[in-house]
Amino acid sequence: MTFYPVFSHSNFYEVAKTADNAERKAFQVEDQLRVLSARFEHLTLVTQTLWELLEQHTNLTQEQMYDKMQEIDLRDGEADGKIKKPVFLCNNCGHRVSATYQVCIYCGAPPDVPPQP
């Protein structure tokens, strides 16, 4: 009968490999967060600039701009402070699929395929 230690050489190798992968993914996520933060700061600057230019050079009021924001927000059917890409409900498989795709990514049916029995 052979007894294996809890952390055999192969177990230790697998644990070390998993830790390395987790560390690499953490660094990747950190980089993505840094990029997204920079984009957010840039978009905040652009938005503030546009709002100030509109106020200074037009007769638009902040209330009108907020009303327009709400109108745009509601175009996707939800007042959630986001602009979502439109989706279609696949008549073939029932999945919701981004309208950016020409066909359902789950079953390959075109958006206007008639429902299957």
Q: Give the binding site for Zn ion (CB under 5 A).
A: 90, 92-93, 104, 106-107, 109
CB of 99 to Zn ion, least distance (A): 13
Residue placing its CB nearer to Zn ion in the complex, 77 or 110 = 110
> Tokens standing for 99?
């309208």
* Least distance (Å) between residue 103 CB and Zn ion: 8
- Calpha distance 54→68 (Å, rounded): 13
Helix-, strand-, coil-residue percentages of the chain, each rounded to 5 = 55, 5, 40
Closer residue to Zn ion in complex, CB, 73/92: 92
Residue nearer to Zn ion on the CB measure, 69 or 105: 105
CB of 117 to Zn ion, least distance (A): 15
Rounded distance between C-alpha atoms, residue 44 and residue 73, angstroms? 17
Residue 117 CA to its chain's centroid (Å)? 33
